[in-house]
Each structure stands twice: as structure tokens, then as C-alpha cells.
């Protein structure tokens, strides 16, 4: 009797410890995000902003967001990014699905060699060849255009076939074989049987490829020089990291812009969290 009581007390104690730890860590994880939002809402004082957490003449409001949309090119950048990410996410997803299906389901002579070549190609750091990519785009007359960005983002999509192929590998073959006996073509099987089953991995691929243009600024920085054609990431980066701006300039504006981008991605992410988890776990477990 007393032993169970003791055990109960021990559990209670360990739960209390866990709660405390989780609370402390949780606060640590959320604090920077609060700081971001807080700074975004800070209208006055807007310089010297970082120096004091609660300055005397503090004024909160939506002023920075109004300024962001009226006095900077932020809305253009948003539209640019939306255009690039929608186009490149469609292309990337289609490419990845095509390659993964071919490598997972179809059998042909060059299958193994192709998989090895893709593996090797994926091991070179992406921007080692950035300069060369820039000149190839220049030769195609495509520098300083959003099309170039789309091509670059989706052009190497085939390299990330791995997770998706792992998923296809787990789909039972029996159904396909039955369909083949019924006289369905391989193409029809791809469309009518595999695609509907692959919904989680499609959502995962769409999500990751949609988000990547919102976060990349290295390629944009190389390819695009025209302020009107920036994507949000480069625009925001330049806002606080250009030669003209000093340390504290634009920091409130940056935070406002970052919150907008963050809000978009949070919404997307939360609505599809389930698939995302499925995606990364399947990728991790199956290699």
C-alpha cells in the first residue's frame, strides 16, 4: 500500500519537474517570436529601437505595417514571391513525382546508374556552381527575371526524389498488377492508382517546394539586381543589411515584414502539419 503511494508521489514529482522544464524551454522558444511581433508593432521611437526594451515614449500600433505597404516595395515583393513560389512549386512537384515514380515503379536498364548519378550530383554544394548558372542564364537572356528564378528552383528538382521514391516503394504493387491484367496502361496506373494514394507525399512536396523561395536569398541575390524584382527574403535582407542603412534603421519595418511572411508560412504550415510530419518521418526512417 505504502509502496504504491510512494510510487505515485515519485511520478507526481517527476511530472512536476517535466512541466517546469517544458515551461522554461517553451518560453525560451517563444520569446524571440514575441520580440519580433513586439518590435513590429512599435511605432515610436523607431530609431535606437534595439537599445531599450521599454523606452519612455513608447507607442504601439499598426503604423509599421502601413508604412511597409505604402512606402516600400513590399507588396511588389510579396507578389513576386507568390508568383515564383507557386510556379516553381508546381514544376518541382511534377518533376519529383515523375522521377520518383519512374525510379520506384518502372524497371529499365539505366535505373540503377541513374540513381547513383543523382546521388553523386546531389553531393556537390549548390552554390559552388552558382556563378556558372548565372552565366548560363545570361546566355539565355534570362538574368534579372523571375522566370530565371523559377527555372533555377525547379531545374534541379530531380535531385530530391529520394523521400518521394521511398514513399512510392511502400505502396503495394498488387493493385497495379491487377490493373495491368485489366489492360490499363502504365500511364493510366500512374494517374488513377498511384497519384491518389500518394496524397501525403504530394502535400509534403508541395509544401516544402512552396516554402523554399520564401526563404532563399542567395540565388536571388546573384540573379536579380532590380529592386522591383526582389522576392521578400532578399528585400527584407537588404532592408537591414545594405550599405546605406545603419544598424537600427528599418529594424521595425523589417520586423513588420518578417511577421507578414511568418504569418503566411505559419498558416500554411499549421493547416498541413499532419502531412509534413508524415513526410519527414517517412524520409527519416526509410533513409
Partner 1 sequence: MSERIEGRKKPNPYKGLFSAFRNGSNATRLSFFVMGSGQIARKQYAKGALYLLLQALFFVYLFGFGGRYLLHLFSGNLGTKVSGEQWNESLQIFEKVVGDNSFLILLYGVMSLVIIAVFFIVWAMNIKGSYENDLRIREGKKLPTFKEDLKSLANEKLYAPLLIIPFTGLLIFTLMPLIFMILIAFTNYDYRHQPPGKLFDWVGLENFKALFSLSGGTSSFAAVFFRVLAWTFIWAFFATFTNYFLGLVIALMINKKGIRLKALWRTLFVIAIAVPQFVTLLLMQKILDGDGILNKILGTNILWLGDGRYFSLLPRVMIILVNIWIGVPYTLLMCSGILMNIPTDYYEAARIDGASTVRIFFDITLPYMLRVTTPYLITQFVGNINNFNIIWLLTGGGPVDNLYYGGGTQAQSTDLLVTWLYRLTTDRNPQYNIASVIGIVIFVISAIASLITFNRSASSKREEEFQ
Quick one: DSSP state of residue 49? G
Neighbours of 70 (CB within 10 A): 9
**Smallest distance, partner 1 to C-beta of residue 54, A:** 10
83 versus 134: smaller Cβ distance to partner 1: 134
Q: Is the dihedral of CA 215, 220, 221, 224 positive or negative?
A: negative
**Smallest distance, partner 1 to C-beta of residue 50, A:** 6
65 versus 190: smaller Cβ distance to partner 1: 190
1 versus 139: smaller Cβ distance to partner 1: 139
d(CA 154, CA 216): 13
d(CA 92, CA 150): 9
**Smallest distance, partner 1 to C-beta of residue 78, A:** 13
**Smallest distance, partner 1 to C-beta of residue 89, A:** 15
SS3 letters across 139-208:
HCCCCCCHHHHHHHHHHCHHHHCHHHHHHHHHCCCHHHHHHHHCCCCHHHHHHHHHHHHCHHHHHHHHHH
41 versus 151: smaller Cβ distance to partner 1: 151
151 versus 229: smaller Cβ distance to partner 1: 151
**Smallest distance, partner 1 to C-beta of residue 132, A:** 4
Amino acid at each position: 500500500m505504502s509502496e504504491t503511494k510512494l510510487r505515485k508521489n515519485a511520478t507526481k514529482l517527476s511530472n512536476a519537474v517535466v512541466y517546469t522544464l517544458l515551461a522554461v524551454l517553451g518560453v525560451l522558444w517563444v520569446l524571440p517570436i514575441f520580440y519580433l511581433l513586439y518590435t513590429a508593432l512599435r511605432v515610436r521611437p523607431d530609431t535606437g529601437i534595439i537599445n531599450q526594451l521599454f523606452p519612455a515614449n513608447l507607442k504601439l500600433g499598426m503604423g509599421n505595417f502601413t508604412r511597409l505597404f505604402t512606402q516600400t516595395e513590399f507588396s511588389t515583393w510579396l507578389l513576386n514571391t507568390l508568383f515564383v513560389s507557386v510556379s516553381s512549386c508546381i514544376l518541382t512537384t511534377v518533376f519529383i513525382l515523375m522521377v520518383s515514380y519512374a525510379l520506384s515503379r518502372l524497371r529499365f536498364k539505366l535505373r540503377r546508374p541513374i540513381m547513383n548519378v543523382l546521388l553523386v550530383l546531389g553531393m556537390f554544394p549548390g552554390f559552388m556552381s552558382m556563378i556558372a548558372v548565372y552565366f548560363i542564364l545570361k546566355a539565355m537572356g534570362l538574368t534579372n527575371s523571375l522566370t530565371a528564378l523559377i527555372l533555377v528552383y525547379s531545374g534541379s528538382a530531380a535531385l530530391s526524389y529520394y523521400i518521394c521514391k521511398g514513399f512510392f516503394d511502400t505502396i503495394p504493387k498488387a493493385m497495379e498488377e491487377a490493373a495491368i491484367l485489366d489492360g490499363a496502361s502504365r500511364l493510366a496506373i500512374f494517374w488513377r492508382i498511384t497519384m491518389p494514394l500518394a496524397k501525403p507525399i504530394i502535400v509534403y512536396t508541395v509544401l516544402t517546394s512552396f516554402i523554399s523561395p520564401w526563404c532563399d536569398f542567395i540565388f536571388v541575390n546573384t540573379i536579380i539586381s532590380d529592386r522591383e524584382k526582389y522576392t521578400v527574403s532578399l528585400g527584407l535582407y537588404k532592408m537591414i543589411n545594405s550599405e546605406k542603412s545603419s544598424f537600427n534603421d528599418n529594424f521595425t519595418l523589417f520586423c513588420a515584414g518578417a511577421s507578414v511572411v511568418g504569418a503566411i508560412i505559419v498558416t500554411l504550415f499549421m493547416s498541413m502539419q499532419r502531412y509534413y510530419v508524415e513526410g519527414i518521418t517517412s524520409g527519416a526512417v526509410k533513409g
